[in-house]
Structure 1
Amino acid sequence: MSPGPAAVLTLGDGDRVFVKAMSTAASASSHRLYQQEADILRIIPAIVPAARLRAVVECGDWIALVLDAVAGQVAGPPWTTTAVIAAAGVCAAVADVRAPTGVPAVVERLPDLDGWTKLARGRASLSDWESRHIERLAAVTTGWRHWTSGPHLSHHDVRGDNIIIRAGDGRAVLVDWGYASHGAPWLDRALLAADVVAAGHEDGTDTARHQALELLSDQPAEAARFVIAQAGMWRRNSTLPPHPGMPTHRRWQHQRAIALQPLIEDLLPLIPT
């Protein structure tokens, strides 16, 4: 997801660390994201299941983050039922933490979830499915700046490739904290539900939808609204010019938005009008 090197390195004393680096020349936005991540990792409590920051190295227009290497496997894609359960546990653990001073509000990390509203203004770009649902999609995502707010810590970039299932105990660890924020306690669980469907499950699309609905079943309606808003953000952003150094990212966003359509059809009847 970033145009820079990332590697597990073995040090002279046999210790292992994970290092990722970025230059402003390759991507100014990714460089800034790494700076944000370093700031977050310095202040989040030790109880948060994250890889510990060892050092930050800056040289010229480069920044490198040195972190503990977590032994294990990424949760996906594709997702497995075991990985979904572990990921749900880590999302709950993070939500139980009150964000420390210095962690920004969610609205500052993802400042635009008005994708469906913006797409409604240019209907020529909409698919048949989107044209049929656009008014409802825009309506249920209105007011997100209010209903996403809260004091709870959120990783806010929950995807299978940002979760490592540790070898040995099977517990999950969240990595890539550049988008961390404070907000409603259900934010990461909603993002998990969206990723299980968008990234795919080893047992197929029906299992993915079923497990996503289970993840949302005991959450407020705003969690479902947020999943729909995320799809709108991805769909609208997929129409924008490519990111520097990331020529496939817009296609990835479009594919995720399309993959979420069946789940959205499940969720819309559950949201009060």
Structure 2
Amino acid sequence: METIAPPATGVRRPWADLPPAVRRALENALGGRVVEAHSQSGGFSPGVAARVRLADGRRAFVKAVSAETNAHSPRLHRAEARNSAAMPPGAPAPRLLGTYDDGTWVALLLEDVAGRQPRVPWLPAELDRVLAAVDGLSRAMTPAPFEVPAVAESEAEAFTGWRTLLAAGDTTRLDPWAADRLALLAGLESGWAEPATGDSLAHGDLRADNILLTDDRVVFVDWPHALRAAPWYDLLVMLPSVASQGGPDPESVFTTHPLGRAADPEGVTSVLAAVAGYFVRQSLLPDPPGLPTLRAFQAAQGTAALRWLARRLG
């Protein structure tokens, strides 16, 4: 499949643009002066995302966002801080080194993982590594090692896309296949919660820009959306982004993967309908502040999810 998704990028701010008081507090938390900082472009956070080096040679990763840039992002950073702090030893996630929160600026200090994002378009060997790691993540995180919201609770509002579009009655911007089957899709979507429910800790937002490959590890970063769900939930949510960034047919990947093989097919179709409806509906909304490519990225994921769903429905 051709690469149709744009890069996942927010409007990044350099380390030097942080207010001096915030920089001093972060350096105090790290126990050293930052002498070098390199902004990282991948991901949708509209703030600072930088690899920093301290005067004594130690390294860290800094994420910081201001409520003045995007009112929603500080809440996500706080959730990520809670989840990162609770990660068990050995989890394939960066260690939390410290936090900062003054009510406007929220920052995380994390282990700087010496890795890189998977190449896009996806390379088969790298995708194989990631798929094996997703299986390992699900097995290591079942049962969930710390408390996070259940998927039926956390996604209750998000997974109403087709029903919301059906109630609005305007299909002019929808894919013709979806527009002709809107009532069917709304019905499929309405049954997503039960099959998605489980006791595995899921990342909730896996895609290439939330994955780092080192020489010997696959590390999953950005954990604000962690939730309890079925063991195969992360795999299903990830595959539309993989397909939209040059990866293989998601149906073939899912049904041959250990987690996908063990899933109930009708339940998978219902959850996939909900995921597709979420991406499609979100893609029709205005751009949020500081996130100029988010809607286009969601549109690409929605297109891939809808193609996958159409195949499952024959």
Category of TM-score, reference length = shorter chain: 0.7 to 0.9
Q: TM-score, normalised by structure 2?
A: 0.77
Change (3 A) 1:149 1:74: same
Q: 1:217 to 1:196 in 2, by over 3 A?
A: farther
1:71 counterpart = 2:114: yes
Alignment of 1:1-273 (within 5 A): 1-59=44-102, 61-96=104-139, 97=141, 98-111=143-156, 112-121=158-167, 122-125=169-172, 126-166=174-214, 168-169=215-216, 171-201=217-247, 210-215=252-257, 216-221=260-265, 222-269=267-314
Distance in 1 (CA, whole Å) between partners of 2:59 and 2:67 is 27
* Whole-angstrom distance in 1 between the partners of 2:185 and 2:103: 45
Structure 1 spans left out of the alignment, 5+ residues: none
Letter in 1 for 2:263: Q
Query: Hey, what does 2:29 align to over in structure 1?
Result: none
Residues 207 and 263 of structure 1: CA distance in aligned 2, closer, same or farther (over 3 Å): closer
Give 1:240 shift.
2.3
Per the alignment, do residues 234 and 29 of structure 1 end up closer, same or farther by CA in structure 2, a change over 3 Å counting? same
Structure 1-normalised TM-score? 0.88
| Partner Cα distance (1:58, 1:224) in 2 | 41
> What do residues 131-160 of structure 1 show as CA deviations (whole Å, max 9, x unaligned)?
233233222222222221121110111101
Residue number in structure 1 paired with 2:3: none
Q: Cα 1:87–1:249, aligned 2, differ >3 Å: closer, same or farther?
A: same
User: How far did residue 127 of structure 1 move?
Assistant: 3.0
Identify if the C-alpha distance between structure 1 residues 76 and 157 changes in structure 2 by more than 3 Å, giving closer, same or farther.
Answer: farther
What is the CA–CA distance in structure 2 between the aligned matches of 1:183 and 1:250, rounded to whole Å?
A: 25
What is the alpha-carbon root mean square deviation over aligned residues?
Answer: 2.1
Moved over 6 A (4+): none
How many residues are paired up? Answer: 263
Q: Which has the larger radius of gyration?
A: 2
Deviation per CA, 1:159-213, whole angstroms, max 9, x where unpaired?
A: 01101111x22x3110000000111111111122222112323xxxx55664355
Larger deviation, residues 124-133 vs 234-243: 124-133
Pairwise CA distance, 1:9:
0.6
Which moves more between the two structures, 176-185 or 121-130? 121-130
Relative to structure 1, the CA distance from residue 164 to residue 252 in structure 2 (aligned partners, 3 Å threshold; closer, same or farther) is same
* Structure 2 unmatched ranges of 5 or more: 1-43
Identical amino acids, percent of aligned pairs: 33
Retained in 2: the 8 A contact 1:103–1:180? yes
Q: 126-135 vs 22-31, which deviates more?
A: 126-135
